[in-house]
């Protein structure tokens, strides 16, 4: 947040640097100097006995230059700068991405049936994926992206569901080509520049470790890591929540589902992820009971 123009590092500057390093840099247009300059804005002027904040050449606030109030100065200045930056944030890449992704996620949740706890399929899968990601040691940013990918992994079903509802003659095509939703999802997202980084996980979450999956027949580590994580979490949730002729007349118990997943290690799923997933679900620690 701080852009310095002082010749010598001041105690206040050092304190600001420490506080800035502990937070996400929201802005870089704050200048700190020991003399007033009209060409710099917003400007923090550090004097011997006072600290003055200027904006567009006008004095906004004045503080006593004492270490005991540096944190208060930081809080005020950060709030001031963030408020000014919020105007331009409306058109920022991050803000636009959040809005577009949020709308798509809401549409996905609306088309899915909720469980007794009020969660939809994609929400449950996303929560499982984050837990697996934590076991893998993913960073906070990686976990956020993984969660987003998981929430949108079935986004391609939106259009297909509409086709099934309003064009009954296409139902047979859908039944014979289940991979349509992965391709459709990739097409949707690739048309939105903000969400290009989600495309690989959405397209490939039904690929198999042995190369017999769809739509591209990828195998092993050719499959993106996020797609491999989503694949195993997606399968577990389907086994334990959905009725399908593929595995009998009703949903499987958690124990039955884990046994089926274990049998697919090295076939459908990455063996390393199977090991982590089984350990995670069979453990009795608190993290197994509280899903993010």
Q: Residue with structure tokens 């049936």?
A: 113
Q: Is the pLDDT of residue 288 over 50?
A: no
Single pTM value for the model: 0.65
Higher pLDDT, 207 or 112: 207
Complete DSSP assignment for 29-72? -EEEESS--TTSSSEEEE-SSEEEEEETTEEEEEEE--GGGHHH
Given a contact cutoff of 8 angstroms between Cβ atoms, the answer to whether 185 and 155 are in contact is yes
The greatest distance separating any two alpha carbons of the chain, rounded to the nearest whole angstrom, comes to 81
CB atoms within 10 A of CB 67: 9
pLDDT mean over 228-256:
85
Please say if the pLDDT value at position 26 is more than 50: no
Distance of CA 69 to the CA centre of its chain: 36
**What is the rounded distance in angstroms from the CA atom of residue 41 to the CA atom of residue 138?**
38
- CB-count burial class (<10 Å; 0-12, 13-18, 19+) for 77: buried
Per-residue pLDDT tens for 148-204? 999 999 998 876 655 555 555 555 555 545 567 898 889 889 888 889 999 999 999
* Backbone phi and psi for residue 30, each to the nearest 5 degrees, phi listed first: -95, 125
More reliable by pLDDT, 37 or 227: 227
Residue 247: left (phi > 0), alpha (psi -120 to 50), or beta? alpha
Query: Residue 20 is inside which H or E element, if any?
Result: helix 11-21
Q: Which domains does the chain have, with CATH numbers?
A: 2-89 (3.30.413), 93-288 (1.10.3210.10)
**Is the pLDDT higher at 168 or at 16?**
16
In the predicted structure, residue 9 carries a pLDDT above the cut 70: no
């Amino acid at each position: 947040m701080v852009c310095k123009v002082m010749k010598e590092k001041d105690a206040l500057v050092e304190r600001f640097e420490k506080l800035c390093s502990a937070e996400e840099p929201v802005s870089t247009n704050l200048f700190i100097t020991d003399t007033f300059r009209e060409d710099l804005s917003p400007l923090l002027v550090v004097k011997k006995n006072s600290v003055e904040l200027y904006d567009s050449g006008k004095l906004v606030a004045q503080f006593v230059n004492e270490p005991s109030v540096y944190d208060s100065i930081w809080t005020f200045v950060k709030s001031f700068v963030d408020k000014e930056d919020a105007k331009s944030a409306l058109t920022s890449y991050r803000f636009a991405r959040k809005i577009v992704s949020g709308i798509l996620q809401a549409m996905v949740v609306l088309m899915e049936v909720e469980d007794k706890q009020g969660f939809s399929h994609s929400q449950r899968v996303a929560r499982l994926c984050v837990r697996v990601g934590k076991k893998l040691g993913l960073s906070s940013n990686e976990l956020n992206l993984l969660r987003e990918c998981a929430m949108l992994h079935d986004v391609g079903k939106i259009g297909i569901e509409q086709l099934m509802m309003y064009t009954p003659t296409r139902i047979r095509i859908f039944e014979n080509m289940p991979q349509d939703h992965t391709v459709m999802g990739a097409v949707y997202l690739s048309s939105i520049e903000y969400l290009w980084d989600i495309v690989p996980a959405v397209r490939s979450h039904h690929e198999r470790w042995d190369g017999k999956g769809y739509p591209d027949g990828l195998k092993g580590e050719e499959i993106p890591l996020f797609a491999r994580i989503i694949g195993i979490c997606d399968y577990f949730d389907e086994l334990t929540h959905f009725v399908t002729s593929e595995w009998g007349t009703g949903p499987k118990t958690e124990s039955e589902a884990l046994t089926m997943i274990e049998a697919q290690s090295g076939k459908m799923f990455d063996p390393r992820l199977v090991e982590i997933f089984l350990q995670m679900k069979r453990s009795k620690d608190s993290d197994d009971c509280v899903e993010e």
